Amino acid sequence: MKIHWQHSTIDSFNFAGRDYFVKRDDLLTPLNGNKARKLYGLLDAYDLSSYKRVISHGGAQSNAMLAIAQLCKLLNIEFHYYTRTQPKWLKQTPNGNLKQALACGMLWHINDSGLPLNTETSLDTLYIPQGIAMPEAELGIQKLADEIKTFCDTQSLEDIAIFQPSGTGTTALYLQQHLPYTVYTVPCIGNSDTLTQLFKQLLPNATRYPVILESEKPYHFGKPYPELLEIYQSLNNASGIEFELMYDAKTWLVLKDWKCDLPILYIHNGGVSGNNSMLARYRRLGFS
């Protein structure tokens, strides 16, 4: 099965008095966001259809989980996904990304550690680390960088500030390796120390790392905060684009007040399929 990968477009909008470009990786098909970019690299490195199964692990609403489940469905191979113990209601009535991944045929395993017994790739099993944070992802991110450079060349933009939210930091790190412009990133899981460590683990000898900007206040990943919901809603209204409620919302809180004289390009990493389950949590808490 040959997957047809596309380029994504770049749109622009005004938000809170400033113009932004936005790279619409959320519109990529058949998979979207930076997880699609990472899997593009993985598919180049491995002949996936020669494997019987793929195994991975992480959060029960992970965007990486859904992207891998969609890919395995397209390629017709088994996908085993491991999470830690989950609330009973979620097991009984899966929602959000979990529901969609299960509908793709994902086999869900729950245990105390949240890890598979074996995390080795063998002849018939391909192991994908949490968040698809792996060197093989680089090629797909390089392709994203090339699209950005072409855009800047055609628009005669000599310099531009790139904004990319970080989880594992894989996307921001590889993007910076392939761009002459500075990549700015906000740690959405952990803080700048843990993100710096992740960068150094993946690429100990890089000559250039992304610039990390932190929010004034700490935010726990995946926890609801009224100001995140608020900026998500005002961004939706201003841009007509749906952004994502965890990574994007926190990153835009930082970006909105950030001083910069250069044009700004924000990378929309997709993942809006997870918004439903998050919006349901805000409603249960009485915000909305």
Ligand X SMILES: *Cc1c(COP(=O)(O)O)cnc(C)c1O
- Positions annotated as catalytic residues are 62
Of 46-54, 79-87, 94-102, 269-277, which part binds ligand X (CB under 6 A)? 269-277
For the chain, give the DSSP string: ---------EEEEEETTEEEEEEEGGG-SSS-HHHHHHHHHHHHHS-GGG-SEEEEE--TT-HHHHHHHHHHHHHT-EEEEEE----HHHHHS--HHHHHHHHTTPEEEE-SS-S-S-----SSEEE--GGG-SGGGHHHHHHHHHHHHHHHHHTT-S--EEEEEESSSHHHHHHHHT-SSPEEEEESSS-HHHHHHHHHHH-TT-S--PEE---SS---TT---HHHHHHHHHHHHHHS----TTHHHHHHHHHHT---SS-EEEEE---GGGHHHHHHHHHHTT--
CB of 176 to ligand X, least distance (A): 12
Contact flag: residue 210 with ligand X (CB under 6 A): no
With respect to ligand X, which residue has the nearer C-beta, 119 or 157? 119
Among positions 33, 94, 96, 210, the unique one binding ligand X when judged by CB under 6 A: 33
Burial class of residue 123 (count of CB atoms within 10 Å of its CB; 0-12, 13-18, 19+): exposed
Among positions 32, 61, 100, 168, the unique one binding ligand X when judged by CB under 6 A: 168
CB of 187 to ligand X, least distance (A): 9
The dihedral sign for the CA sequence 49, 58, 129, 166: positive
Contact flag: residue 269 with ligand X (CB under 6 A): yes
CB of 79 to ligand X, least distance (A): 17
With respect to ligand X, which residue has the nearer C-beta, 131 or 263? 131
Of 46-54, 208-216, 230-238, 265-273, which part binds ligand X (CB under 6 A)? 265-273
Of 78-86, 108-116, 164-172, 217-225, which part binds ligand X (CB under 6 A)? 164-172
Contact flag: residue 131 with ligand X (CB under 6 A): yes
CB of 27 to ligand X, least distance (A): 13
Contact flag: residue 59 with ligand X (CB under 6 A): no
With respect to ligand X, which residue has the nearer C-beta, 263 or 271? 271
With respect to ligand X, which residue has the nearer C-beta, 72 or 166? 166
Of 9-17, 155-163, 257-265, 266-274, which part binds ligand X (CB under 6 A)? 266-274
CB of 50 to ligand X, least distance (A): 26
